[in-house]
Chain A
Amino acid sequence: MATPVTTVPDRPATTAPGAPGAVPRLRAGRRRHTPGGPRRSVLLTLLTGLILLYSLLPLVWLVISATKSQSGLAHSFGLWFDGHFALWDNIGQTFTYHDGVFVRWLLNTLLYVVLGAGGATLLAVLGGYALAKFSFPGKRAVFAVVIGAVAVPGTALAVPTFLMFSNMGLTNTPWAVIIPSLISPFGLYLMWVFASEAIPTELMEAARIDGAGEARTFFTVALPLLAPGIVTVLLFSMVATWNNYFLPLIMIKDPDWYPLTLGLNSWNAQAETAGGQPVFHLVVTGSLITILPLIAAFLLLQKYWQSGLAAGSVKE
């Protein structure tokens, strides 16, 4: 609250196109932000910087550590390189250790993401569109159920799900991970909100008047408009499925069906085993490889994802 009002920096930030003098001095007790030149605060910048540093530090550590051998990890300072650059060696070992089981885990994770997150997105898009643009009896009840489902943490359902799947004979199969991943109440809700804002009802009416059937209206009119929302939901479900640890942990016992998260953890646990061999360097390198596809997905889909988040926030 005690933010000083005279903290206008001398130079305008390159991103703020307003003239230097355009930032008005605030009168006592009044705070106003002009759209062209938002007021900058040293304190906020500092805080953001700190948080940025805080979030990047583990990543930096990871990248640096992946270049070290097992003994290098033990003998050198964590945030700087060891004399011996072992990254390529580590990557090679990660892919070949234990008969190349890492590749298998990578493929499993991809399978879970493609089927689980892909399916979740598909269901969310279809459901969200239907809920936003059609009215039918019981719609309010569906709304209540979806909102309620958003509030239930997945972990709370894990054990009941386990028992149910066990009765159905599905535990220890990939289905035990894929089927629960298909359900994404938050994705459905997001799609619903997005669809009701992004597709003008008038446009659908026009399409209908022109003689398009419901399917055609959906595919040719609605779907392109929904693209940013779809990407957003897809990214959410991808990240959730890619990082999923607890569900596979209780569902899957066969290391051949492990996703990367479980597999890397089992390598880590080797160090705690009597007679086991610590392979921290492989765990670190494997972790780095594991996050690369996610980073790639974010960078490639970034523009859709940003417009997706902002969509519907402004009334035009």
Chain B
Amino acid sequence: MLKHSRRLLRGIGLVSALALGATACGGSDDGGPSHKAVSEADIQAALKKGGTLTVWAWEPTLKQVAADFEKAHPKVRVDLVNAGTGNNQYKALQNAIAAKKGVPDVAQIEYYAMGQYALTKELTDLEAYGADQLAGKFTPGPWNGVRAGGDGVYGLPMDSGPMALFYNKKVFDKYRIKVPTTWDQYVDAARTLHKANPKAYITNDAGDAGFTTSMLWQAGSRPYTVDGTKVKIDFSDAGARKYSGTWQKLLDDKLVSPVTSWSDEWYKGLDDGTIATLAIGAWMPANLASGAKSASGDWRVAPLPQWTAGAKASAENGGSALAMPELGDNEALAYAFLEYADAGKGVQTRVANGAFPATTAELHSKAFQDTAFPYFGGQQANKVFAESAANVADDWSYLPYQVYANSIFNDTVGKAYVSGTRLSAGLKTWQDASVKYGDEQGFTVSTG
């Protein structure tokens, strides 16, 4: 029943995306919702006048930021609403936009979903507020994310997820496994570990679109090319072949645990050492500390294994921005909050509460880099993360309908995880389905 309703909801989103997509194609860009430049004085005036700001976000550290912001501007009230996490929130947002009612002033949107809203002009282009001048403040990966295709700034990066390899040192020491520096070594480590303890796996992977796209990103694959409504999807480049070839070995020999990420089983595996590593974004420490408490002291962080020995490529995994939906009110006020939370004082508050920054100043600050994590046995893990952030490969882009594409990942690529389908064949099916959907939505989609 729920599945049906989801489909219905998606339908609604599509209809509106299609309608808006069509207007975007109509070339009314110049005449679109005209935004005159908003000056600092306008923003200050709005702050003085006050008002209520509705913010849809699930990020836990924003609570303190909102409270601080209200304190600094007594006439402003920030209504922080958790309208669901990720996809659920996007559906709610899409519904509100379709109904043209109840659209929040500020919304948290993950980088992978940014393009969908940016292309259809459902988000305010913040260049009118001078956001383009903030470019230097942020690390390249997240900044690239909010640029969503390049012709505007559709949000301010809130956090980022440069990838690293989290590994359970206790398990590695016990079975005398060396920390892998290449993915080939990683496969060997997986074999050694699983042979030594059939209950233990190098990692879990039940088919996760976010993880796969991040891995492709690091391997140098660029499956999506987006130029306005012209889209190219190609999962057959060298990078994609490297990834699917290596990961296929892990799947063939059943070396990865089929546990779904974020489930209680997953936390259990991280806790008791049966899931020994995670290649994941730098925001993970807080989740490990609260979700796998009794493994405190066992885990460490290492740079992400490489495809070529000695290389230093990395990729982003997750991370999100705060954006202003076009239909929201209180725009000057909303921008003031965005700036405060993502580029101003709010950043320190959030980092102090465990969030991972997207700003270079915080990444390079001594206090941040020298932080010793008791959970990681005193390791200064931020050093590893900051280096990874600097090494994120550029030129990556997501599809303008990545939310949909990710939602069909399990029906396509996911088959490789549960049956004998090859991973490469799964990617091909995903490609075909994504092409078909894009064409139906009015995009011009080509393949490699």
State the A residues within 8 Å of B (CB): 70-71, 73-75, 153, 155-156, 158-159, 162-163, 166-167, 169, 171-172, 245-246, 249-250, 253-255, 266, 269-278, 280
Contacts and interface: CB of A to CB of B under 8 A. Distances in A.
A159 B101 contact: no
Contacts of B11: 159
Given A274-B161, A278-B287, 9 more contacts: A74-B264, A74-B268, A74-B294, A158-B5, A166-B102, A246-B5, A273-B85, A274-B284, A275-B283
Interface string B66-86: 000000000000000111111
A278 B281 CA distance: 18
Interface in B4-58: 4-5, 8-9, 11-12, 56, 58
Contact of B264 (A155, A171, A276, A278): A278
Nearest to A163: B99
A275 B267 contact: no
27 contacts: A70-B293, A71-B293, A74-B268, A74-B272, A75-B272, A155-B8, A163-B99, A166-B102, A169-B101, A250-B9, A250-B92, A253-B92, A271-B264, A271-B267, A272-B85, A272-B262, A274-B59, A274-B159, A274-B281, A274-B283, A274-B287, A274-B318, A275-B283, A275-B354, A277-B60, A277-B290, A278-B290
B256 interface: no
Contacts of B92: 250, 253
Nearest to B265: A74
Give the one of B1, B2, B96, B291 with max A CB within 10 A: B291
B238 interface: no
Given A71-B293, A250-B9, A275 B60 contact: yes
Contacts of A250: 9, 92, 95
Contact of A275 (B99, B272, B286, B292): B286
B88 interface: yes
Nearest to B56: A253
Nearest to A255: B82
Nearest to B286: A275
B355 interface: yes
Nearest to B355: A275
A239 B88 CA distance: 25
Nearest to B91: A250
Given A273-B85, A274-B287, A275-B286, A163 B98 contact: yes
Contacts of B161: 274
A273 B59 contact: yes
A141 to B, nearest CB: 29
Nearest to B292: A74
B229 interface: no
Interface string B276-296: 000001011011001111100
Contact of B5 (A155, A172, A274): A155
A71 B271 contact: yes
B61 interface: yes
A239 to B, nearest CB: 15
Interface of B: 1-2, 4-5, 8-9, 11-12, 56, 58-61, 81-86, 88, 92, 95-96, 98-102, 159, 161, 262, 264, 267-268, 271-272, 281, 283-284, 286-287, 290-294, 318-319, 353-356
B271 A75 contact: yes
B70 to A, nearest CB: 17
Given A171-B101, A253-B56, A255-B81, A276 B5 contact: no
B301 to A, nearest CB: 16
A74 B281 CA distance: 23
A159 B9 contact: yes
A266 B319 CA distance: 20
Contacts of A158: 5, 8
Contact of A253 (B8, B83, B287): B83
A154 B12 CA distance: 17
B4 A269 contact: no
- A contacts with B: majority SS: helix
Contact of A166 (B60, B101, B272): B101
A128 B377 CA distance: 70
A224 B1 CA distance: 37
B260 to A, nearest CB: 10
Contacts of A254: 81
B59 A275 contact: yes
A32 B357 CA distance: 77
Q: Sorted from nearest, which 6 A-B pairs have the closest CB atoms?
A: A166-B99, A274-B283, A74-B268, A272-B262, A277-B290, A155-B5
A272 B92 CA distance: 18
A70 B290 CA distance: 10
B268 A75 contact: yes
A266 B291 contact: no
Nearest to B2: A246
A155 B272 contact: no
Contacts of A245: 2
B58 A269 contact: yes
Contacts of B356: 274
Contacts of A277: 60, 290-291
Contacts of A255: 81-82
A31 B225 CA distance: 71
Contacts of A276: 58, 60, 286-287, 290
Contact of B1 (A155, A249, A274): A155
B262 A271 contact: yes
Nearest to B266: A271
A175 to B, nearest CB: 14
Contacts of A266: 82, 84
A253 B11 CA distance: 20
A280 B355 CA distance: 22
Contacts of B268: 73-75
B232 to A, nearest CB: 30
A284 to B, nearest CB: 9
A282 B356 CA distance: 27
Contacts of B281: 274
Given A75-B268, A75-B271, A273 B60 contact: yes
A37 B9 CA distance: 53
A275 B58 CA distance: 10
A269 B99 contact: no
A269 B88 contact: yes
A168 B273 CA distance: 54
Contacts of B159: 274
Contacts of A156: 4, 8
A249 B59 CA distance: 19
B278 to A, nearest CB: 13
B264 A280 contact: yes
Contacts of B98: 163
Given A269-B88, A275-B61, A275-B287, A167 B8 contact: no
A28 to B, nearest CB: 46
